[in-house]
Structure 1
Amino acid sequence: MRDLINELYQEQTLSKANLINLLLHINDEEREYLYEKAYSVRYEHYKNSVYVRGLIEFSNYCKNDCTYCGISIHNKELTRYHMTPEEVIKTAEIGYSLGFRTFVMQGGEDTSFTDDKFAAIISSIKTQFPEAAVTLSIGERSKESYQKLYDAGADRFLIRHETINKNLYEKLHPKMSYENRIKSLFDLKDIGFQVGTGFMVGVPGQEIEDIADDLLFIKELNPHMIGIGPFIPHKNTPLRDESAGSAELTYTLIAILRLMLPTSLIPSTTSLATLKSENRYKGFRVGANVVMPNLTPYDYKKSYQLYDGKKITDTESYEALEQLKKECLDAGFYIDMARGDYKNWRRK
């Protein structure tokens, strides 16, 4: 396994067969060696810095019925909300005053948020804070829509491919188009966004072969950002009785992805921290270099439940940010409040 890890470190890729071999047969000692190599690459490009993004969960309405998601259209027990444009902008203003220079607008595919509404929000934030970055995580739209949002000033777009296995994708996403999801990623890259993709680890039906294909797809796409985290079931979804994904496998995949794409921006996700709070900081030690505290007003964020057990705290405060900084320092890392763009990215 060490030979495969060294090959991955040197060549930044492995064959599918070798990825499967590594994932199936790596032992604890070899896994620690993988983590050491991933950390060395992380340190080479980013030292011990951690970029911070301010998350704004603007709406928990969604037109889709993804089988794992707590804000699915079929969850009738959820209290739904839309933030007003004024509330979104005010939340960004509060975040800016705390030092945030990247804002991530995340929500379900809410049809009430038109291109014009998004463009107005983006334009307002960028006009007030031209040095700040705006990231969108709003699902599938047309290429024309994406272009309009880019022209309004959006810098980044997150849309996980979820799985490169078409059959599994269609089971997890009824009535959605696998082909359109993949097309969306390439459309976003073509327009000029910093693009993020990723997948859940341990979602029911996923095999190691699928994960190897996911890794190779990500290598081919060459995204700027990669978000992976363990599957966590939600009580009001068809997958409610399934087991959560493995944190250890998630760490292994973060490390592999750091070696495959050395300069990528990889968050240590909330889902990792939900399984165990210290997981976030181990994520940094195996290659992750981004964290996304939640700026959403408390009364809204408690209703944005993608999975059970999500941490809900008043992170839109100075005290919470200072606590995050302290915890990072205690783990050997420091918070970098800059925009944190992908290296050498420039707007078209």
Structure 2
Amino acid sequence: MVLAQRLAEQGRLTQEEYAHLIRLRTDESSMYLAGKADHIRREIYGRDVYIRGLIEISNICRNDCYYCGIRRSNTGCERYRLTKQQILGCCREGYDLGFRTFVMQGGEGSYSAGEIADIVGAVKETYPDCAVTLSLGEYTRGEYKIMRSAGADRYLLRHETADREHYRKLHPFGMSYENRMRCLYDLRELGYQVGCGFMVGSPYQTAESLAEDLKFIEEFSPDMCGIGPFIPQRDTPFWDMPAGSGEMTIFLLSVIRLIKPNILLPATTALGTVMHNGREQGIHAGANVIMPNLSPLSERKKYSLYDNKICTGEESAQSIRILKEHMRSIGYQIVTARGDIKKP
């Protein structure tokens, strides 16, 4: 508990201390940090939980990451790519439901920077009071600049792991830890609100590699951070690996909130997949963002990053009323706003 108390007081630890905190996690330390994280989040954001309309625009990907169900070599994946009009249709439905941020997520290389810029420009012209977040992987600095100039506000790019050796165990030759990090710094310099993130319990992950992730978040100070438990997918090389822990994910949400009190921190669908009421527990532990699915119903199951993904139930945008009731029942409220990061 000494390290947990120090983190709550100082908002930072050494890398070795982070590893020690993780290895010695107990129910007592988890509850303590969750309470501290919830308190500090309420000081900045009150009871507000921001909703983002997630649009999974394509499951075509040029990469072959060992953990991902839409990896290039998965011949069992039924591919799709939404048109500009389909994406605008998702935004129209979302706007009517109260969403003021749209998150366009997809496999890498599905669209050129020019195509994305065209779509972003159309969304911003139609819905000027909305924010557009992109989560489309690695591009060149020039391509990121094109999308930013078209009106993109935020960019989510999970760094996956801040441990170079661990990165090599998760990705094939040709993918580069250094390029991933280059992208994050380019995005920041271009004026995006930037999000990073990692999987909890991914194969070969250690307390030391998680500590590197926490130290990176402390030093990079992202506007957003998306973490969720690793969940195996049957058509990947990691199909028989154990899933990550929901409890550890919630613990790390609290740690990240204490490292950066004003961060935008999602309670993810993956967390809701591995734990009953996982997202609600994540909110209690310091998260303040939920991303219901706006993707066309016909395509949701095809975006199979991992097995058993919840894709037609209460995670969907159409069930926003149920989501509001859930949040109200645990003492929070869904708000319809852009939900930009606030000053601490």
Unpaired segments of 5 or more residues in structure 1? none
Q: Partner of 2:117 in structure 1?
A: 119
Could you tell me how far 1:253 is from its partner in structure 2? 0.6
Separation in structure 2 between the aligned mates of residue 81 and residue 323 of structure 1, nearest angstrom: 29
Could you tell me how far 1:318 is from its partner in structure 2? 7.1
State the AA in 2 paired with 1:138. Answer: L
Mapping for residues 141-220 of structure 1, pairs under 5 Å: 141-174=139-172, 175-220=174-219
Separation in structure 2 between the aligned mates of residue 11 and residue 271 of structure 1, nearest angstrom: 30
State the AA in 1 paired with 2:116. Answer: F
> Percent sequence identity over matched residues?
46
CA deviations over 1:41-81 (Å, ceiling 9, x no partner): 11111112110000000000000000000000111011100
Specify the SS of the correspondent of 1:105. strand
Specify the SS of the correspondent of 2:50. strand
Separation in structure 1 between the aligned mates of residue 332 and residue 177 of structure 2, nearest angstrom: 38
Question: Would the alpha carbon gap of residues 95 and 74 (structure 1) be closer, same or farther in structure 2, given more than 3 Å must change?
Answer: same
Separation in structure 1 between the aligned mates of residue 27 and residue 261 of structure 2, nearest angstrom: 23
Q: Partner of 1:245 in structure 2?
A: 244
TM-score normalized with structure 1 length = 0.96
Separation in structure 2 between the aligned mates of residue 9 and residue 237 of structure 1, nearest angstrom: 39
| Aligned 8 A contact 1:251 1:286 in 2 | yes
Q: Partner of 1:133 in structure 2?
A: 131
Separation in structure 2 between the aligned mates of residue 318 and residue 79 of structure 1, nearest angstrom: 23
Q: Partner of 1:343 in structure 2?
A: 342
Q: Are 1:234 and 2:233 matched, yes or no? A: yes
| Aligned 8 A contact 2:232 2:240 in 1 | yes
Separation in structure 2 between the aligned mates of residue 303 and residue 262 of structure 1, nearest angstrom: 36
| Aligned 8 A contact 1:105 1:135 in 2 | yes
Separation in structure 1 between the aligned mates of residue 105 and residue 71 of structure 2, nearest angstrom: 15
Could you tell me how far 1:319 is from its partner in structure 2? 5.1
Q: Are 1:41 and 2:30 matched, yes or no? A: no
Q: Partner of 1:321 in structure 2?
A: 320
Separation in structure 2 between the aligned mates of residue 249 and residue 178 of structure 1, nearest angstrom: 24
- Large movers: runs of 4+ above 3 Å: 314-319
CA deviations over 1:190-219 (Å, ceiling 9, x no partner): 001000001000001111000001100111
Specify the SS of the correspondent of 1:302. helix
State the AA in 2 paired with 1:169. Answer: Y
State the AA in 2 paired with 1:139. Answer: G
Q: Partner of 1:52 in structure 2?
A: 51
| Aligned 8 A contact 2:300 2:311 in 1 | yes
Could you tell me how far 1:343 is from its partner in structure 2? 1.6
Specify the SS of the correspondent of 2:146. helix
Separation in structure 2 between the aligned mates of residue 300 and residue 68 of structure 1, nearest angstrom: 21
State the AA in 2 paired with 1:142. Answer: T
Kindly tell me the number of residue pairs found equivalent between the two proteins.
343
Separation in structure 2 between the aligned mates of residue 161 and residue 318 of structure 1, nearest angstrom: 27
Q: Are 1:256 and 2:234 matched, yes or no? A: no
Further displaced range: 219-228 or 336-345: 336-345
Could you tell me how far 1:336 is from its partner in structure 2? 1.0
Q: Partner of 2:305 in structure 1?
A: 306
TM-score normalized with structure 2 length = 0.97
Q: What is the root-mean-square deviation of aligned Cα atoms in Å?
A: 1.5
State the AA in 1 paired with 2:255. Answer: I
CA deviations over 1:127-146 (Å, ceiling 9, x no partner): 01111000000000000000
Question: Would the alpha carbon gap of residues 55 and 319 (structure 1) be closer, same or farther in structure 2, given more than 3 Å must change?
Answer: closer
Question: Would the alpha carbon gap of residues 144 and 243 (structure 1) be closer, same or farther in structure 2, given more than 3 Å must change?
Answer: same
State the AA in 2 paired with 1:134. Answer: V
Separation in structure 2 between the aligned mates of residue 115 and residue 318 of structure 1, nearest angstrom: 27
CA deviations over 1:197-244 (Å, ceiling 9, x no partner): 010000011110000011001111110000101000000000000000
| Aligned 8 A contact 1:295 1:315 in 2 | no
| Aligned 8 A contact 2:53 2:317 in 1 | no
Could you tell me how far 1:30 is from its partner in structure 2? 2.4
| Aligned 8 A contact 1:98 1:317 in 2 | no
Unpaired segments of 5 or more residues in structure 2? none
Question: Would the alpha carbon gap of residues 304 and 236 (structure 1) be closer, same or farther in structure 2, given more than 3 Å must change?
Answer: same
| Aligned 8 A contact 1:95 1:316 in 2 | no
Could you tell me how far 1:6 is from its partner in structure 2? 2.4
| Aligned 8 A contact 2:44 2:342 in 1 | no
| Aligned 8 A contact 2:68 2:305 in 1 | yes
Specify the SS of the correspondent of 1:26. coil
